[in-house]
Amino acid sequence: MSAFKFHVSGLEHPVPRTVTVVVAALASWGLAAPGASAQSVDLELSSAYLEPSTFVGVFSERPMARVTGAFDLGDAGYVEAYASSGFDRPFRDEGSEIGLEVGGEWVVGGDLVLNLAAGRWANYAGQGLEAGDWFGRVGLSHGPIQASASVLQGDSDTIALNASYEWALTEHVSLLPTIGYLTADEALNFGIVGTINLTDQWGLAITAVAPDSDAGDRETYVAASLIYHWERD
């Protein structure tokens, strides 16, 4: 899924029409790709664009919609593409972004899983394809515990260290506390996601993040999300 990026506000560069075409083409290719053993699509409508995973911060306090497609390529490989947009100026506002990730996951011992991935995040704050980061990530997970290190080159130029713990309260309710550290500004950020699975396809989430600011204080942002998940084996 997407990670927090440093946005430069006040710039308005319309996104080329090819952005939408590329994302749609990737989704169509993944759903029809021979040999792809599983595909999934997630649709999310959120009251604000908060990022609780890689950077643990806030993009926009306005409503945001996002679509994510993940495609299993077999032999542990996968490709994931996403596009998000705010409602202010679709694909040209602070809630806008696209991304593509290619990676793999391997069991390296017992329940320990290794993840290696690389890709591109772009169209930061609707500024077009040149605004973004190339990234590489190495991650480890063991049961509910996950940890990763990501290197970003471009607008951010930072290393992000992250860890999370998935706490299953019941069969349908879970909490995911997260913590992230950025080497560029030595910021330690915190977040938590509470998820309720209403059905196999529908879910509700409450996300809270508390990023460190340039002024040295910490402000908490909260968002509510409605999520639809479709999967085919």
Residue 25 pLDDT > 80: no
Confidence grade of residue 132 (pLDDT, cut at 50, 70, 90): very high
- pTM (two decimals): 0.82
Residue 24 pLDDT > 50: no
Residue 23 pLDDT > 60: no
pLDDT averaged over the chain? 86
- In the CATH hierarchy, which fold is given to the domain comprising 17-232? Porin (2.40.160)
Find the distance separating the first CA and the last CA of the chain, reported in whole Å. 20
Domains of the chain, by residue range, sit at 17-232
Burial of 29 (0-12, 13-18, 19+ CB in 10 A): middle
Confidence grade of residue 217 (pLDDT, cut at 50, 70, 90): confident
Q: What is the pLDDT of residue 75?
A: 87
Q: What is the pLDDT of residue 38?
A: 80
Question: Which residues have a Cβ under 8 Å from the Cβ of 29 and sit 6 or more positions away?
Answer: none
Burial of 48 (0-12, 13-18, 19+ CB in 10 A): buried
Residue 202 pLDDT > 70: yes
SS3 content of the chain, % helix, strand, coil (to 5): 10, 60, 35
Task: Give the mean pLDDT of 136-151.
Answer: 97
Q: What are phi and psi of 30, to 5 degrees?
A: -65, -40
Q: What is the pLDDT of residue 74?
A: 86
Residue 179 pLDDT > 90: yes
Q: What is the pLDDT of residue 89?
A: 92
